[in-house]
Amino acid sequence: MKFFLLIFLLFTACAGTEKTPPVYNDAPLVLKNASTQGDVLKPVTVLTLPTAVSRSIMKNPHLDVAKAEIEALQIASKVEGAPQPLKVSVEFEDFLGSGAYRNISGSQLTISLSYVLETGAKRFKRAKTANLNVNAARAAHDIMVLQTAGETAQAFLKVLYLQEKLRMLDEQKSLSAKILEKLELKVKGGKLADIQLDIPRAGLKIIEIEKKRFQNRYELSKKALAYHWGSRTPDFKSVAGNWDLPKIKTLQQDFIKSVKTNPHVKKWIVAVEIAKSQLDSAKAGSYPDIEISAGYRYFRDNNDSAAVLGISVPFNISSVNRHKVDFAQALKKKARREIIAAEFKLETEIIELYQELVIMHSTISDYKNNVIRLLIGNLKGIEEGFNLGKFTHLELLASQKAILEIREKILDELYEYHRRAVELEYKSGVSLYR
């Protein structure tokens, strides 16, 4: 099954940003069917994987929170980039004292405006850090998009798996019922005793019980899938997909190179940039800001007036700023190490997943090409012999059971294979198939 992965590139605009999304190599074909239009939200009878993922990206409540955080940080960045406001100061002095200053007749009134002139480009650096925080939120949003898409795909696969299980149980029930009918005819003809039908009847009951159990799991899995786009009830009856096993690529360098553009790594690349900006701001803190004030003073005692001009420069003898610089340098060093750790972790996981997939691909192919063919041929021979009276119903049941068991095993293997394929494409950003 072609994975959904890079579908999130089509939806980064939903975050309300102008970010250029990372470029991934060889996007899965499912992207061609992806849509951000409202029609994907309409109820359908049969749900496809691209539609399910599109719904989740558009309507997932957690993604809405991430988008709101980006918008809030964008507003905060504008606040950080704004210049310092002018301050109005009003002073009323030289009154309620003694002698000539016992009343307000000898008082002085001063009205002035002051402005803090930030040195060392502090405002620019502060705004830069705020904008980088927006980029960090975007990276977190991209990670959440990938996680949401991945979780949706996994939930979709589970529904598809249980749906196929139910179909196989229906087929098994039909085969068992047909055998039971033939055996009942033999009982009527006196060729078999009725007690010999107890095992086939019990087998049919077991199938019915299993079907009921899987039907309940199937309905719950559909609800779990719908939760990914914020719906409490599924608005679809079934899902459409297949369990194809295409030829997979060799482990090319594309898988490893793609790690560089993975949002999990980009998150720490942005963190390094933030730490650099914080370091610049901390270093700029060593430059004192200058406060300039100018105003007008009125002398009430003689009705004279005069201009007032002031300059204030703080005298910083504290080591706090030095500690801020050291802290920012430590954060920068940590973020760089996180990049190395994240890349190593992703590369290791990609290689391990790929090796698992190669083994599973070979195993499933062997089951399909070798074992299942032999069992199908055996079943045909046993059925013909049973109709001619050469084989007993127990031998026919054993042959049917063998083929059903191997088909269930293949289905289980395919389910696990595609789950890992989803995870590999999610981690690498590269289509697994040729």
Confidence tier at 100 by pLDDT (50, 70, 90): low
Mean pLDDT confidence for 297-309: 81
Confidence tier at 251 by pLDDT (50, 70, 90): low
DSSP letter string, 127-152: HHHHHHHHHHHHHHHHHHHHHHHHHH
Give pLDDT, residue 26: 33
User: Residue 172: which H helix or E strand, with range?
Assistant: helix 122-188
Question: Does residue 341 belong to any structural domain of this protein?
Answer: yes
Question: Does residue 140 belong to any structural domain of this protein?
Answer: yes
**Contact of 431 with 11, CB cutoff 8 Å:** no
Question: Does residue 335 belong to any structural domain of this protein?
Answer: yes
Handedness of CA 310, 316, 322, 328 (dihedral sign): negative
Q: What is the pLDDT of residues 339-374, one digit of tens each?
A: 888 888 888 888 888 888 888 888 888 888 888 888
Mean pLDDT confidence for 241-267: 71
Mean pLDDT confidence for 418-428: 82
Q: What is the pLDDT of residues 104-113, one digit of tens each?
A: 666 788 888 8
Question: Does residue 434 belong to any structural domain of this protein?
Answer: no
User: Residue 232, exposed/middle/buried by CB under 10 A (0-12, 13-18, 19+)?
Assistant: exposed
Give pLDDT, residue 368: 85
Give pLDDT, residue 222: 95
Across 33-42, 281-290, 380-389, least confident range: 33-42
Give per-residue burial for 204-229: e unless 16+ CB within 10 Å, then b: beebeeebeebeebbeebbeebbbbb
Residues in Cβ contact with 242 at an 8 Å cutoff, skipping those fewer than 6 apart: 1
Phi, psi of 303 (to 5 degrees): 60, 25
Confidence tier at 239 by pLDDT (50, 70, 90): very high
Give the integer Cα–Cα distance in Å for 372 and 380.
Answer: 12
**Contact of 399 with 379, CB cutoff 8 Å:** yes
Average confidence score pLDDT of the chain: 80
Confidence tier at 169 by pLDDT (50, 70, 90): very high
Higher-confidence position of 186 and 228: 228
Give pLDDT, residue 433: 54
Domains in the chain, number:
1
Q: What is the pLDDT of residues 314-343, one digit of tens each?
A: 776 566 677 888 888 888 888 888 888 888
Q: What is the pLDDT of residues 180-195, one digit of tens each?
A: 888 888 888 888 888 8
Question: Does residue 433 belong to any structural domain of this protein?
Answer: no
Q: Is the pLDDT of residue 393 over 80?
A: no
Residue (of 9, 52, 29) closest to 227 by Cα position = 52
Confidence tier at 422 by pLDDT (50, 70, 90): confident
Question: Does residue 413 belong to any structural domain of this protein?
Answer: yes
Across 15-24, 123-132, 276-285, 375-384, least confident range: 15-24
Residue-level length of the chain: 434
Give per-residue burial for 100-122: e unless 16+ CB within 10 Å, then b: eeeeeebbbbbebebebebebeb
For the stretch 80-86, contacts whose Cβ atoms lie closer than 8 Å and that sit 24 or more positions apart, written own/partner, are 80/126, 80/127, 80/129, 80/130, 81/123, 81/124, 81/126, 81/127, 81/130, 83/123, 84/115, 84/116, 84/118, 84/123, 86/113, 86/114, 86/115
pLDDT above 70 covers what percent of the chain?
A: 84
Could you give the residue ranges of the DSSP H alpha helices within 285-433? Answer: 320-366, 372-387, 393-428
Question: Does residue 176 belong to any structural domain of this protein?
Answer: yes
Give pLDDT, residue 23: 28
Q: Is the pLDDT of residue 290 over 80?
A: yes
Dig out the tokens for 27 from the structure. 């996007």
Q: What is the pLDDT of residues 204-218, one digit of tens each?
A: 899 999 999 999 999
pLDDT above 90 covers what percent of the chain?
A: 13
Find the CATH number of the domain harbouring 355.
1.20.1600.10
Question: Does residue 388 belong to any structural domain of this protein?
Answer: yes
The residue segments making up the domain with residue 121 are 5-428
